[in-house]
Amino acid sequence: MGLCFGSSEELAIKTIYFSNSIDGVASLAQCRALKKLTLKLGSSQVSNLEALSKLSNLTQLTLDLRDSRVRDLEPLTKLSNLTQLTIDLRSDPFRLGYNLNVGNIEPLAKLSNLTQLTLYFGPGRIGNLEPLTKLSNLTQLTLGFQICPVSDLESRIRAMGTNYESYFAARYHVGKTLSESPEEYRRRSPVWNVDKLTTPLLIHANTSDDDVPFAEVEKLLQALQASGKSFEQHIYTNAPGGHQFNRLDTPLARESREEIWRFLARQLQPAGSRKAPRF
């Protein structure tokens, strides 16, 4: 499969979008004149970026590694001419079973010519960012975090067991187990910090949620009520779809989404407008 075509000048400015083929990614090693590359792997079988290490002329690289099997960023260290780098690491590690060790972003510290760096992290994948301080030529740093919060980590871990706890005990996350640092787990759990709530809050939950036990939701509601906090709630009883119920195309899903949009419209109503938009 040939990905490189045309003159060297054309290749130098060509942006390639690619997905779902080991052979295709490997053939990128032939494109040595490339200076700009966008690569999307998705849930393909590609598990390493070794082919990219051959592209020594690259100055701009965008990697979409969402839900990918790639675990190691070390091959990127050979791209000494890189000045702009974007890596998207968002995904759900619990759903896919792949756990990209983004706690080890030390390889990026070797890209001394970087002036612009953008990193998007998925839930549970926010690692140690200290190595980035070694990038002395960096003038623009953008970090994005996909948050997947748990209202009560202590209760969830006790229910799910040590395998679940290991995600949080990893050195690039909490770094300690629940028994070693219960205070830190409570500090990260909304149910233990409801007294700090100062922003408008809407809670949607489904009693048949197969990921977030409804008991956790009830505990949060009780804590909010005990603290005298003002909030809105809508509890759906056995809505089809379980945890994903309001992402489907069903009457209840549409009702949930529309209520969320109305809530946001009220709270984010532009100054000077007379009323929130209708949906």
The CATH number given to whatever domain includes residue 83 is 3.80.10.10
Residue with tokens 């700009």: 36
The yes-or-no verdict on residue 64 having pLDDT over 80 is yes
Q: Are residues 177 and 63 in the same domain?
A: no
- Residue 55 domain-assigned (yes or no): yes
Q: Are residues 12 and 136 in the same domain?
A: yes
**Distance between CA atoms of residues 205 and 196, nearest Å:** 22
Q: Are residues 253 and 208 in the same domain?
A: yes
- Does the pTM surpass 0.85? The reply is no
Domain boundaries, position 279: 193-279
Considering Cα of 41, then 45, then 48, then 50, what sign does the dihedral take? negative
Alpha carbon of residue 104 to chain centroid: 16
Looking at this protein, which amino acid is placed at residue 247?
R
The yes-or-no verdict on residue 15 having pLDDT over 50 is no
Closest among 57, 64, 52, 50 to 12, alpha carbons compared: 57
Q: What angle separates helix 153-160 from helix 162-169, to the nearest 10 degrees?
A: 140
Residue with tokens 């809530």: 263
Q: Are residues 74 and 183 in the same domain?
A: no
Q: Are residues 167 and 115 in the same domain?
A: no
The set of residues, in sequence order, having a beta carbon less than 8 Å from that of 66 and lying 6+ positions away, is 42, 88, 89, 90, 91, 122
pLDDT tens track for 176-207: 999 999 999 999 999 999 999 999 999 999 99
pLDDT of residue 267: 86
